[in-house]
Structure 1
């Protein structure tokens, strides 16, 4: 009850301004995770295009401030971010909508990316828009039917999946396809435009990089095979969930602040994205690292799965390989090692294609979809 009292006191202390858009998140500001990075970039971009946006997050540790975290991500203008106890996972998701109902109804739009928060808002009769990042957990937890019901009843105005694959699955489950807006992840193009173009001749002995959480469902077996086969120097950057095999060509380092990602790509020629079908988000994903690799102008070899095929075309802007076939990945790398002209063409096309996926473009599309901009 103490935390509840603190939350209500915090609410009374807020300024009485009326944002156009209230964005509710469950990411902790002190945890440098992909969902936080995407949320902050999207909210900052919405503010940059003139949508007055307020972001509510769970409370965060005093070791970090919103300004510090935004600076780490290359966000120059810190958006309106407020911490609220009732968004902490220890509390039922119905409490925040219940106690903040008046503020939520004053806003022109309410936006969430958590299915639990969407259900909490719907239970309180609060209309909102829901950004869909994964379908499998919603199926497993029995949430999807209620989400679809809220959508058809317009308690959820717009469903915003991050891939066409997810959109098709939502329509198949009964969603109204006229109120679905597909919005892939984005990239801060400014942070990558200074990177030099790929030097294809360096692919004779490529520096291969993978960034992100390292696990079997993200292709650890592919990564270790590439190192063991002598395909190049394989560098893994991120938290590792499994014990790594000690190999001369395999190097691991912990996750780095997001602002350092561009420099890591500058020190590499080839990016691998070996997502497996067993990954819980494989049916709906739109990984930021994909768009960052494209913007960096590096050669990409990625898993041949539906959400990835929406962005990458084999032989045009990347090479695609069967997720669970190490030999096919090795063959793709060796093709690039011996065909520098192809490698240069793929990297150049990927960089050109990345221009469509700026955070500003993403924010503008969302603002139009939810009725805040024409």
Structure 2
């Protein structure tokens, strides 16, 4: 199948949505599809080749990259709509078997696509914006719509309630890249590589470092447990979280890491942290079943996470994670104590994480998507 995947961005950066798009496209390529990334390019944007894209995101697989000159680059509603209209006229799209996109405008304007199309997304748009339910139903029911691919059942439920037919919905969780997790390291080996103390308890958060990720809860937890070293891996500058972390002697802030470098930090951890906060999901809505979840599971380290409806699809208390009520640092500290003090529990959680991760790779996702598209 010849697939064209239009992007909204013209420069390589570190956002999870870029990582998700390129990993999905590369996995579809490995599954046997001919995949072309269609990238907008404004005056002043760099000329890129597909090798640079593969290297930046640490992916392998047959991909093509086509850049098109345009003034429409970015995620704004008008900008993305105008870029889609341009893409619909592009010979790459018109010669494709399928237009595959995670551009939100496709969810309610995809019916205008000149070829069969599918939309891949994570947001609960019908619940967030009820006014969009009717155009979303229209798009999903279009004869040449192959449906909607959602990153979680939590999100898919929103579209079911809006009247999207069940046969037009697929929940396909994201994944990790098993090859990037090699070689697997014991905690001591990873700490030696990174210059971290072998004898100290270490809790690691790996992801974007900003206020929308609930990291105030990690800092509150760190203040309650000064004997534990907390590492925030993924900083891109001196923002509010970084400035607040300076006041805590047991918090280290680590710059963003390339995909091949990140696993060492995960392996160095006694516990991996998803901030025990409801804000990323309920207040900001920009983080549903976060990408870090899949790397954490693939690392096979104990996970401390909040009780939340999205992560509940994968994280089970006492099996592959320990779950705590969001917004209660004292409760999180008590659970952290329990985890660090019980080696048997930590081992069972690690084994459970690896079992869960065994079916959460990008290639597994591509297999499910391929079956959905070819049904």
- Indicate whether the TM-score tops 0.5: yes
Does residue 1:184 correspond to 2:173, yes or no? yes
- Summarize the Cα distance change of 1:314–1:169 in structure 2 as closer, same or farther, 3 Å threshold: same
In structure 2, the partner of 1:257 is 258
Structure 2 residues not aligned, in runs of 5+: 189-196
Does residue 1:75 correspond to 2:59, yes or no? yes
Partner of 1:251, secondary structure, is strand
Does residue 1:171 correspond to 2:160, yes or no? yes
- Summarize the Cα distance change of 1:347–1:269 in structure 2 as closer, same or farther, 3 Å threshold: same
In 2, the alpha carbon distance for the partners of 1:94 and 1:47 equals 23
Question: Contact 2:186 / 2:268 at 8 angstroms: preserved in 1?
Answer: no
Q: How many residues align?
A: 351
Does residue 1:237 correspond to 2:215, yes or no? no
In 2, the alpha carbon distance for the partners of 1:142 and 1:211 equals 36
In structure 1, the partner of 2:120 is 131
In 1, the alpha carbon distance for the partners of 2:3 and 2:228 equals 47
Does residue 1:208 correspond to 2:203, yes or no? yes
| TM-superposed deviation, 1:83 | 1.7
In 1, the alpha carbon distance for the partners of 2:10 and 2:122 equals 17
Q: How does 1:329-340 map to 2 (within 5 A)?
A: 329-340=332-343
Does residue 1:293 correspond to 2:296, yes or no? yes
In structure 2, the partner of 1:217 is 212
In structure 1, the partner of 2:100 is 111
Partner of 2:256, secondary structure, is coil
In structure 2, the partner of 1:57 is 39
In 2, the alpha carbon distance for the partners of 1:241 and 1:154 equals 47
Question: Contact 1:217 / 1:276 at 8 angstroms: preserved in 2?
Answer: no
Q: How does 1:331-370 map to 2 (within 5 A)?
A: 331-370=334-373
Partner of 2:41, secondary structure, is coil
Alpha carbon RMSD of aligned pairs, Å?
Answer: 2.7
Bigger CA drift: 145-154 or 238-247? 238-247
In 2, the alpha carbon distance for the partners of 1:26 and 1:283 equals 17
In structure 2, the partner of 1:308 is 311
| TM-superposed deviation, 1:309 | 0.6
Partner of 1:223, secondary structure, is helix
In 1, the alpha carbon distance for the partners of 2:114 and 2:153 equals 28
Does residue 1:226 correspond to 2:216, yes or no? no
TM-score, normalised with respect to structure 1:
0.85
Question: Contact 1:23 / 1:110 at 8 angstroms: preserved in 2?
Answer: yes
Question: Contact 2:217 / 2:277 at 8 angstroms: preserved in 1?
Answer: no
CA deviation map 1:60-97 (0-9, x unaligned) = 84386431331233323461112223452346244224
Give the alignment partner of residue 148 of structure 1, picking from 131, 134, 137.
Answer: 137
Partner of 1:214, secondary structure, is coil
| TM-superposed deviation, 1:159 | 0.8
Bigger CA drift: 244-253 or 28-37? 28-37
In 1, the alpha carbon distance for the partners of 2:64 and 2:157 equals 34
In 1, the alpha carbon distance for the partners of 2:255 and 2:22 equals 22
In structure 2, the partner of 1:4 is none
In 1, the alpha carbon distance for the partners of 2:354 and 2:163 equals 37
Question: Contact 2:49 / 2:65 at 8 angstroms: preserved in 1?
Answer: no
| TM-superposed deviation, 1:226 | 2.1
In 2, the alpha carbon distance for the partners of 1:226 and 1:257 equals 27
Bigger CA drift: 348-357 or 75-84? 75-84
Does residue 1:95 correspond to 2:80, yes or no? no
Structure 1 residues not aligned, in runs of 5+: 1-18
- Summarize the Cα distance change of 1:136–1:44 in structure 2 as closer, same or farther, 3 Å threshold: same
In 2, the alpha carbon distance for the partners of 1:287 and 1:187 equals 12
Partner of 1:54, secondary structure, is strand
CA deviation map 1:38-65 (0-9, x unaligned) = 1111111111121111111222843864
In 2, the alpha carbon distance for the partners of 1:42 and 1:114 equals 14
Bigger CA drift: 130-139 or 108-117? 130-139
Partner of 1:248, secondary structure, is coil
